Amino acid sequence: MESLFRVLILLALTQFLKTGSHVTSFPPEICDNAIDDDLDGRIDLHDPDCSCSTLEPTSLIPNHSFEEQECCPMSHSRVDCLQGWIRASQTTPDYFHSCDWTGAGALDIPQTLPDGEGFIGIIDGSFSSDPNPNWKEYVGICLEDTLQIDTLYRLQLHVGFLSQRTSPSTDIVIFGTADCANLPFGLGDATFGCPSNGPGWIRLGSVSVAGENEWKQVEILFRSNNNIAAVVIGPDCYQRSLENDPYYLIDKLILAKDQNFNVDIVANDHPCSPSFELSIPPQLGYRYQGYKDGIAVVGATSRTLTSLPGAGEYQVRIENELGCKLSETFQHAPPSFYSQTIQTICEGTAVHFNGQILQTAGIFWDTLTATNQCDSIVELNLEVAPHEEKEISAKIFPPETYQIGSFSFSTPGNYVQNLISSTGCDSTIYLELDYFRLYTPNAFSPNDDGLNDIFTFGCSPDVKSIEALIVFDRWGNIVYEGESLSCQNGWNGQVNGKPALAGVYVYTSTILFTDDKVRQLDGSFMLVR
């Protein structure tokens, strides 16, 4: 009750400070201390004060958005007005900037520009007059730093399209050279084509792109087998055949190591290992801060997170004077290995599990630590099999036997037998065994006196039906054949409507008993007259 009272007082005080006659300002949220500094109920990354502005990698291409100038472009092909950029070839792109020249006004430029007020225009072949499919225009520049061998780089750029007729789909290519002295190339030859038609240049990568009255952001991923000091960007080497001069715009060229674009967080070692850690690639010139579930892990100020404080979503925030960026989230959930065991014990016995002696049925758990340091959860479903007692009443027909386990019984009587059940526990069988009852006559006298005039079986409740009865004379001739007989039906002692001769006859029969078994019974009898 006292704690609730204190909370209410604190809430009332906070409301007073915010809405009272005087205004009390709270400090802004500090994004790396795991404290709600501005008392708005949101901590660190959950607070809008800690949201990151867009932070792009530092481009290895100087003046990557064509804003830094030596002069305003007053006509076409004035790439020389750009700081850092070099006329790449005899065929030179257009430079547009709003500082003075209005030549771009004749073009239907897609709005808005990707960055700043400057951009480049290039042609991929001349066809409208004096056709020259190798009239290909490129922008070239020496890089801020040499591209390293076998390192993955990404070039991110914006390509502008006018109408579909003026700007059909195209392939944009980046070429590289190990020496800035290779710029420019093909001077004096407007039919030279792409830089790789001459020595010292290699094709690094390309991207296909299409659009209409719009800017498209595209990316090229590449590795180089050589160190690269300078690059040119423009159309691919293949020759096109069109009716007009295809024209494209280029702006905002960001070239950097691929790892500097998307800050991926990766795991090292097994998540249950004591040496498990999360890390992001090195980010030069940045400060680091690690977070769990959006709240700073105090002291986690390197690109590697070790000794993680439990399961959760982890991120690393990188920051410099220009802004910040968050890594992708990593869901850390150390696995628990689960196994289920069903065990049956006999009544009166016990099993040892998790330090307990169990004698009753139920579900029990134990948590172990596996060799990889992860939890291993074992579930035991314990069943207790009671002592089984079973009473059986059965009948047999001589010379049959009745089988219980490995024990056979062939004579009527009451038996008690102990067995091991399917669960491995003791069971007791009480067997009451008897014979099937069936009267079989050894003679009959078909003289129509109402006594023994029919040869048949004296049925009992043990008989369901007489399936078949066949009678033979002493020479083996069939004198009678009947099917599906009742105990009142049988042979009347006649053959073909005439009295049969007295003597010995043989029969075979098929009888269905109440255990649903069909038995064949054979024998002989006397016909007496």
- 79 φ/ψ angles, rounded to the nearest 5 degrees: -65, -25
User: Would you call 416 helix, strand, or coil by DSSP?
Assistant: strand
What's the confidence (pLDDT) of residue 499? 94
| Upper half-sphere CA count for residue 201 (Cβ side, 13 Å) | 26
Lookup: tokens for 275 = 């040496």
- Could you report the per-residue pLDDT of 118-171, keeping only the tens digit for each? 999 999 999 988 899 999 999 999 999 999 999 999 999 999 999 999 999 999
- Residue 126 host element (H or E): strand 118-126
**Distance in angstroms between the alpha carbons of the first and the last residue of the chain:** 115
User: In the prediction, which pLDDT does 22 show?
Assistant: 45
DSSP SS3 for 203: strand
pLDDT exceeding 70 applies to what percent of the chain? 93
What is the rounded distance in angstroms from the CA atom of residue 320 to the CA atom of residue 288?
9
Helices (H), 188-237: none
Tokens of 143: 């890089």
Q: Check: CB of residue 269 under 8 Å from CB of residue 308.
A: no
pLDDT at 11 over 80: no
pLDDT digits (tens, 9 = 90+) for 68-101: 999 998 888 889 999 999 889 899 999 999 886 5
pLDDT of residue 100: 66
In the CATH hierarchy, which fold is given to the domain comprising 79-260? Jelly Rolls (2.60.120)
Residue ranges of the chain assigned to CATH 2.60.120.260: 79-260
pLDDT computed for residue 370 by the predictor: 61
Count how many Cα atoms sit within 13 Å of the Cα of residue 161 in the half-sphere of its side chain.
19
Q: Where in the chain is the domain with CATH 2.60.40.10?
A: 14-56+262-334
Residue 422, burial from CB neighbour count under 10 angstroms (0-12, 13-18, 19+): exposed
Rounded mean pLDDT, 212-232 = 95
Cβ atoms of 125 and 133 within 8 Å: the answer is yes
Average pLDDT over residues 365-371: 72
Strand-pair category, 375-385 with 336-346: parallel
Three-state DSSP class for 271? coil
- From the list 405, 402, 425, the residue with the least C-alpha distance to 417 is 405
Q: How much of the chain exceeds pLDDT 90, in percent?
A: 63
- Token pair in block for residue 173: 């290519």
| Cα separation, 404 vs 393, whole angstroms | 12
Q: How many CB atoms lie within 10 A of CB 437?
A: 14
Class of domain 14-56+262-334: mainly beta
Residue 30: predicted pLDDT: 93
Look at the block and give the residue holding tokens 């023994």.
452
Residues 6+ apart with CB under 8 A from 191: 132, 134, 135
Rounded Cα–Cα distance for residues 4 and 11 (Å): 11
Mean pLDDT of the 368-386 span: 79
Which class is domain 443-527? mainly beta
Q: Dihedral of the CA atoms 443, 446, 450, 456 (nearest 10)?
A: 50
- pLDDT at residue 17 tops 60: no
